[in-house]
Amino acid sequence: MIVAGNWKMNKTPSEAAAFVKELAPKVAGAKATVVVGAPFVALPGVVEAAKGTNIKVAAQNMHYEAKGAYTGEVAADMLKDIGVDYVIIGHSERRQYFGETDVTVNKKVHSAIAAGLSPIVCCGESLEEREQGVTAEIVRRQVKIALLGIDKAALLDSGLVVAYEPIWAIGTGKTATNEQANEVCHIIRALLAELYDGDAAAKVAIQYGGSVTAANAKDLFAMPDIDGGLVGGASLKANDFEIIANA
């Protein structure tokens, strides 16, 4: 199980470090891997605050090139050098607002793994795509392209995570039913078995994200193909995230 908080563009560096210090004792006994995804400028302080705790640190994005004339971008090696463990790749907000594509997601996955980071690879359909009955096709395409050229050893050794986040349930207060969420996570697991084998499919963690709250986390995480959550707004509140991390 892995529970990761995506803070998005929230918390100043000082607020972020203080939050981790507040959160640490609350999740010290969590059986799940606990991850916080901080903004770039907050990452050094969050890494420092998380030392000696069971909290892992994620970046929310990265560039696929190792270096170069890419003003405003951050490379995988830069993240690794300051002690970051995970990186969120291909979040729907990156796709919607910043031109992220399935191809750039794949490039970033390769770069993250090469640098020793664990990618949290996001996928998910829009409301229109769900209503048109093409959820499976959309999610399968996104995951297949994201993992193109990644062999089983790299997949498992990197600790790669797949996060299913229906776009229509992100920040809307709408949540897929437990059965809807599990159905798509099962589709992803079946795809992993198809691309690799049953062993890989069983070992890769598949998260659900999309208005995960302290109230619904336990039931969502009890579903057979859901291995935790990628949590947005609720991860900004220590008491709520404590409940989710221990769910």
User: Mind telling me the catalytic residues?
Assistant: 91, 165
Kind plus residue range of the DSSP H or E element containing 219: helix 217-221
Radius of gyration of the chain (CA): 17
Angle between helices 178-195 and 135-146 (to 10 degrees): 40
User: Is 78 in contact with 111 (CB distance < 8 Å)?
Assistant: no
Distances (CA, A) of 117 to 4, 10, 82, 114: 15, 23, 12, 8
Neighbouring residues of 27: CB distance < 8 A, sequence distance ≥ 6: 34, 54, 55, 241, 242, 245, 246
Q: What is the DSSP string of 165-200?
A: --GGGSSSS----HHHHHHHHHHHHHHHHHHS-HHH
How buried is residue 207: exposed, middle or buried, by Cβ count under 10 Å (0-12/13-18/19+)?
buried
How buried is residue 111: exposed, middle or buried, by Cβ count under 10 Å (0-12/13-18/19+)?
buried
